[in-house]
Structure 1
Amino acid sequence: METPNLNDDSINLNENAEPEELNEKQLAKLQKIEEEKKDLLNRVLSGQIENIKDRVAFVLNNSNDARNSDVELAWSYWYLFETEILNGVSVTKEQLKGLTKISSLSRMRAKIQNEYKLFQADEKVRKFRGVLQEKNRQAAIADKPSGLGTYTVYIDETGKTQDYLSVGSMWVLKSFKIDSRRQLLKWKEDREINYEFHFNEITKNKASEYKEFFTKFLSIHPEVGFKVIVVNNKGLSNKNAAITDLTSHLLIKGVLHENETGRAPLPRILSAWIDEEEAGSDQLKIENIKERISQQKIKGLYAEDFQAISSKSNFYIQVVDLFTGAINRKLNTPQGNHPKDEVADFILDMVKFDLNSIDKNNSDVDQSTVFNLLENSQ
């Protein structure tokens, strides 16, 4: 563990202050920080890694050890982004001079963790660094185990106004592939595709490209898994509450399944990224979901970053949109004869999902079943 960084670039505001207690300058600063945070998060999670801030955030997102130690952060950063200098075996004095300085990485880490409140260190480490809020100092807990893996889950929902409500998800259990976005952008460029992939926007002229995109994504990420939870809308008076319930069940049961099958055993960090809708309702939903997961007290599960992110330029969110849209289409329009039905059939065949396995009469959220659709799960 490194020595405390007394120069951490954190915001000089009372984090517990109400908006009306802040002056105009402070409010403007908070708004700027929130915008920068949102932009960074969307960039990192969509694979737009272009500068030192993006790269540090990328490492922090994928490594709990790097969140806690600037030495681990620096090694991972050099190993991922400066391989022309660092070969992972040895480094000379001259080569060391060419690597990004640990102090520069530490300052950027501090900004991301202390200002943006993203990818934070364990509470014990934060206390040691002197940046833990006073109200949490006495309750500081021990470090999490080193070398933790992750459950990175992308989530989308659909069907609020239809017969069936579905919440779909894509589970990434390994570190992000840095060149994934580049490969997909090159694929789009070669085919002169200038639109995003959303199930509701499928047309006859685009159907073949949608199928090819889904296939291309899975060829780059053959290890991803899909999970979905479905409920009959009949009798559900509060659709937003039902979505919160379903998403909570999806994550809890999904984690237990991954652990019990041995595919991705605990302990692990859980991060959930939800397709952005409305800022206020998104945040409320996220806080409720995270609280419910924490109440389960699943041994070895550390629920950390839960955020709503934009689907713009994010291929992961676009893929889960297509998967969830395909489920929704076949449930709500079973006899359809539209290009959407053609694409839906293709996607469900790709993930080997049998619609007949769904209990279409079930309207009890708590009794809903999570269907696991896993690539290479055998």
Structure 2
Amino acid sequence: MEAPEPNPNQNEENQHLSNEEGEAVDELSSRKQRQNEAGREQILASVGSNRPKTTKEKVAYVLNRSIEARNSDVDLAWEYWGEFESDRFNGHSVTKDDLRSLTGLPSISRARAKIQNEYKLYLADVEVRKFRGTLDEDIRKEVVEDRPGDLGVYTVYVDEAGKTQEFISVGSLWLLDAGSEVISRQREIEDWVKAKGIRHEFHFKALTNSRDQLNSYKQFFTLFLEKFSTIGFKAIILNNSGFSDTRSVITDLTYHLISKGIAHEDETQRAPLPRLLQVWIDEEERGSDTLKLENIKERLTSQKIAGLHLNTFTAVSSKNNFFIQMTDLFTSAINRRLHNAPSGHFKDELADFILHETGFNLDELDKGNNQSDSARVFNLR
């Protein structure tokens, strides 16, 4: 029997099929990557604004500030129930009926796995990742950090103003609490915004010469201070002269603001170390935001501050984030008063109101200073 004649088109067909299969695999991988990136951004926005609503967002909220929860699903579930389901969980024991009514451990565990394994957020310690089989090859030899379990937090929101003006200002809001109380107070402000029918974000530059809008800004600022009475504001100002790279200057100022701010909180015992540090900035350009935060994180790491453990450093949208919006108002108020003589615009009235409420005194500024290393940090309220 004669062998069948070879088909000269067969190799081309096989190659064509192989290319199509490869393109399909690439498309699936790219789609998965986009989905993970969108999910990651949603998680960070929820945590940064203290607005967790879904089970996954609530799990992320716990993971963000609890090392034990990152390493143990039992600890994670225990903290989750205590934080979000305290009406059915007393924090000491669980009955069989209670257990049936609480969010199930498998659901919590699945959410944790997705956040850690797919979004690469709030990772467990190296030894735990080795045990779970999720440790990336390039960090298998990483040393486990000696870190105490129950840590407080420095949650710092940062914004800047005056990049093209005579003075550069970097302002920050320091939140030292976390958990259900913070979420509850944030929701009270959210409810107030909805009840007032307010649809705009509270951005200083968006204020028009409208008395009603000005009053809403003032009321928002006052309400926030009432709900978060223990927050602090810190600012650092520099004479913007002789600098060719303003972005680098802002990175320097942000680093000094955070570093000196931590020293102040620790030395005054208002919020002593050890603590986790997380830093949130208003999102502008993803690439430059990431580089800026990585540079600050690297410099803080090199300082080897005893008891300081670096956590989330990320840029998030100000949308639905009242903490970023408050930081914008504070920083922009400083910038307004530094650069604008009173003109009768409602922005002048708002700036004076904010600086009075936070206790900022422009007379204390060293307006000639243009050395970021020696710039003074003002600790207010």
TM over 0.5: yes
The answer to which structure has the higher helix fraction is 2
- Paired position in structure 2 for 1:259: 266
Larger deviation: 331-340 or 159-168? 331-340
- Paired position in structure 1 for 2:160: 157
Per the TM alignment, residue 162 of structure 1 is displaced from its structure 2 partner at its CA by 1.1
Q: Tell me if 1:77 matches 2:80.
A: yes
- Paired position in structure 1 for 2:289: 282
Mapping of 1:168-247 within 5 angstroms? 168-176=171-179, 177-205=182-210, 206-247=213-254
Q: Tell me if 1:135 matches 2:138.
A: yes
Per the TM alignment, residue 98 of structure 1 is displaced from its structure 2 partner at its CA by 2.1
- Of 23, 32, 37 in structure 2, the residue corresponding to residue 29 of structure 1 is 32
Per the TM alignment, residue 204 of structure 1 is displaced from its structure 2 partner at its CA by 2.9
Mapping of 1:38-57 within 5 angstroms? 38-57=41-60
Per the TM alignment, residue 143 of structure 1 is displaced from its structure 2 partner at its CA by 4.3
| Distance in 2 of aligned mates of 1:162 and 1:278 | 20
Per the TM alignment, residue 222 of structure 1 is displaced from its structure 2 partner at its CA by 0.5
Per the TM alignment, residue 297 of structure 1 is displaced from its structure 2 partner at its CA by 1.0
1:372 and 1:123, CA in 2 relative to 1: closer, same or farther beyond 3 A?
farther
Checking the alignment, whether the CA contact within 8 Å between 2:280 and 2:316 is kept in structure 1 is yes
**Which consecutive unaligned segments of at least 5 residues does structure 2 have?**
1-24
Q: Tell me if 1:328 matches 2:312.
A: no
1:346 and 1:331, CA in 2 relative to 1: closer, same or farther beyond 3 A?
same
Look up the SS of the partner of 1:147 in the other structure. coil
User: 1:286-330 deviations in whole A, cap 9, x for unaligned?
Assistant: 111111111111111111210000001110100000000111111
Per the TM alignment, residue 59 of structure 1 is displaced from its structure 2 partner at its CA by 1.3
Per the TM alignment, residue 191 of structure 1 is displaced from its structure 2 partner at its CA by 2.1
| Distance in 1 of aligned mates of 2:258 and 2:329 | 19
RMSD: 1.6
1:230 and 1:124, CA in 2 relative to 1: closer, same or farther beyond 3 A?
farther
Q: Tell me if 1:368 matches 2:342.
A: no
| Distance in 1 of aligned mates of 2:59 and 2:103 | 11
Mapping of 1:348-367 within 5 angstroms? 348-367=355-374
- Of 101, 107, 110 in structure 2, the residue corresponding to residue 104 of structure 1 is 107
Counterpart AA for 1:194: R
| Distance in 1 of aligned mates of 2:343 and 2:372 | 27
Look up the SS of the partner of 1:235 in the other structure. coil
Q: Tell me if 1:248 matches 2:255.
A: yes
Q: Tell me if 1:340 matches 2:359.
A: no
| Distance in 2 of aligned mates of 1:267 and 1:359 | 32
Superposition TM-score, scaled by structure 2 size: 0.89
Larger Rg: 2
| Distance in 2 of aligned mates of 1:357 and 1:126 | 51
Per the TM alignment, residue 163 of structure 1 is displaced from its structure 2 partner at its CA by 0.9
Counterpart AA for 2:157: Y
Percent of aligned positions that are identical: 52
Checking the alignment, whether the CA contact within 8 Å between 1:123 and 1:143 is kept in structure 2 is no
| Distance in 1 of aligned mates of 2:125 and 2:354 | 40
Counterpart AA for 1:301: L
Counterpart AA for 1:183: E
Per the TM alignment, residue 26 of structure 1 is displaced from its structure 2 partner at its CA by 1.9
Per the TM alignment, residue 62 of structure 1 is displaced from its structure 2 partner at its CA by 3.0
Superposition TM-score, scaled by structure 1 size: 0.89
Checking the alignment, whether the CA contact within 8 Å between 1:122 and 1:143 is kept in structure 2 is no
**Which consecutive unaligned segments of at least 5 residues does structure 1 have?**
1-21
| Distance in 2 of aligned mates of 1:25 and 1:147 | 41
1:122 and 1:336, CA in 2 relative to 1: closer, same or farther beyond 3 A?
farther
Counterpart AA for 2:209: K
- Paired position in structure 2 for 1:294: 301
| Distance in 2 of aligned mates of 1:117 and 1:90 | 32
| Distance in 2 of aligned mates of 1:90 and 1:108 | 23
Per the TM alignment, residue 48 of structure 1 is displaced from its structure 2 partner at its CA by 3.1
User: 1:245-267 deviations in whole A, cap 9, x for unaligned?
Assistant: 11111111111111111111111
